[in-house]
Chains A and B, each alone.
Chain A
Amino acid sequence: MAIDTDKIVHAVMHGSRIREEKGIIPLFGVYLSMISVQYYNRISFGFEKKLGNDALAEKLLVAAGQECGYATFQGIRSSREWDEVVRPMIERIEDQIYCFVSIAIAFGWGDLTVHELVPKEKLVIRANASYEAKGYLDAYGKADSGKCYMLRGVAAAFMDLLYGDEYPDGCFQYTSIETHCQAKGDLHCEFVARKTAP
């Protein structure tokens, strides 16, 4: 069965309209929030500016994204909603990554596609209009380096979940770089995840 992104997006949109009595959205095994992308961009790029050390800020923000992606998508693939909606679409282990990407699209992170996947070796994800790249361009103009820290970390987390050690010991076994970014003026953003060098 092919991965039905529309069906996954619909399930997320439908589920995210359900709140329990505490005003919390429990969905796909995690607690979801709906916050403006302006907030996230202000946090990430404000942090980068305040820290005054772009390389360290980048490292910390990518790590935050990767650890998040690792825990979030582990929660997601262990959830009842995954079993009901997504699992029937999965025929081989690699299909999970296509489903993860569909969920990331549903979350409003950007227009993502899996461009290349070599099992255990390499994952290439391309993004159009990621909210990070768009937010950076709008606020600061053209960047010198890639600005999609969250998506970059998440791309590596997808590989960690599929090919790393069993959860929770597999995080950071893959590393991602952003080879292209629309914040730099590139046509799309591109993330390449490979095994972390020893």
Chain B
Amino acid sequence: MTINWPEKFARKGHEIFLSGLPIALHCHHYNMNLQKTLESSLGNDGSLLIYQAAEESSYDGLTSFLEHFPKINTVKSKLELASTSYQYCGLGIINFSQIGPIGGRIVSPHSHHVTGWLAKFGKRENPGCFFSRGWIAGALAVIYEKPLGYYRVEELECKMALARECIFEVTKT
């Protein structure tokens, strides 16, 4: 099924909605500043907050999308929707080819957060895609009809630390 993305991305007055949920456009300066502020002030609690916020956001976002598109009802088509939605939102490219209901691996060759972090702060010593980890966890919970928090996503390799691509491992919590 083909989704008319521009049609789903609409303004009502000063607000912007994507498939019925309010969104905001922000650039890498703000997203990276927020991440740095949270990490430097709260350490692991800061990265966990980003992860959980992204997990909730993608869970609610994808749930809303699927309510609008009841014909997207197979796992394959839902994975495709998640991947396309990630790309449409300017978040990058995500490859769900090695994933199943009990977990697996996900590869992301490009992302907003990697591009933004490297442009703004340069190389990191440790993986830093907390947003993407949470986003993946929330999306998979919707796709495999599990509760929020069902999946744990870790980042094994990260382009922010100059790996070739970001590799995420998904397991059940």
Instruction: Assess the B21–A67 pair: CB atoms within 8 A.
Output: no
CA of A43 to CA of B39, assembled, Å? 12
A25 to B92: give the CA distance in the assembly, Å.
9
Interface residue? A131 (CB, 8 A)? yes
- B: contact size bracket: 35 or more
Check: B79 CB closer than 8 A to any chain A CB. no
**Contacts A32-B27, A33-B25 given; does A24 touch B14 at CB 8 Å:** no
Q: How far is the CB of A13 from chain B (nearest CB, A)?
A: 7
- Contact among B33, B60, B86, B111 with A64 in the assembled complex (CB-CB below 8 Å): B33
Judge whether A38 and B14 touch: CB under 8 Å: no
Which residue of the partner chain B has the closest CB to A127? B14
When C-beta atoms are compared, the residue in chain A nearest to B48 turns out to be: A50
Chain B residues with CB under 8 A of A25: 90, 112
B16 within 8 A of A: yes
Give chain A interface residues in 86-125, CB to chain B under 8 Å. Answer: 105-112
B98-122 Cβ-contact flags toward A at 8 Å (1 or 0) = 0000000000011110011001000
- Contact flag A34-B89 (CB < 8 Å), given A23-B110, A108-B16: yes
Contact of A30 among B21, B28, B45, B53 (CB under 8 A): B28
**Shortest Cβ distance from B109 into A: residue:** A22
Interface size range of chain A in the complex: 35 or more
Q: CB distance B11 to A13 under 8 Å?
A: yes
Total inter-chain residue pairs, C-beta < 8 Å: 169
Within 8 A of A (CB), among B36-59: 37-38, 41-42, 45-46, 49-50, 52-54, 56-57
For residue B111, give the distance in angstroms from its CB to the closest CB of chain A.
Answer: 8
A140 proximal to B (CB < 8 A): no
- Chain B residues 52 to 85 lying within 8 A of chain A, measured CB to CB, are 52-54, 56-57, 60-61
Question: Cα distance A38–B135 when bound, in Å?
Answer: 13
CB neighbours (8 Å) of B161 from chain A are: none
Residues of A contacting B25 with CB < 8 Å?
Answer: 12, 16, 32-34, 106-108
B53 contacts A46, C-beta separation under 8 Å: yes
Is the CB of B29 closer than 8 A to any CB of chain A?
A: yes
For residue A182, give the distance in angstroms from its CB to the closest CB of chain B: 14
What's the nearest-Cβ distance from chain B to residue A149, in Å? 10
B163 interfacial contact with A, CB 8 Å: no
Beyond A38-B22, A72-B29, 6 additional contacts (C-beta under 8 Å) are: A30-B28, A31-B28, A35-B23, A40-B24, A42-B52, A112-B14
- Ordered by A's residue number, 30 sampled pairs between the chains whose C-beta atoms are within 8 Å are A13-B11, A22-B92, A23-B90, A23-B92, A23-B111, A24-B90, A24-B92, A31-B115, A31-B119, A32-B90, A33-B31, A34-B18, A34-B23, A35-B24, A35-B31, A36-B60, A37-B23, A38-B53, A39-B56, A43-B49, A46-B49, A47-B38, A47-B42, A60-B41, A63-B37, A68-B30, A68-B33, A107-B24, A108-B24, A111-B14
| A interface, CB within 8 angstroms of B | 9, 12-13, 16-17, 19, 22-25, 30-40, 42-44, 46-47, 50-51, 56, 60-61, 63-65, 67-68, 71-72, 75, 105-112, 128-129, 131, 150
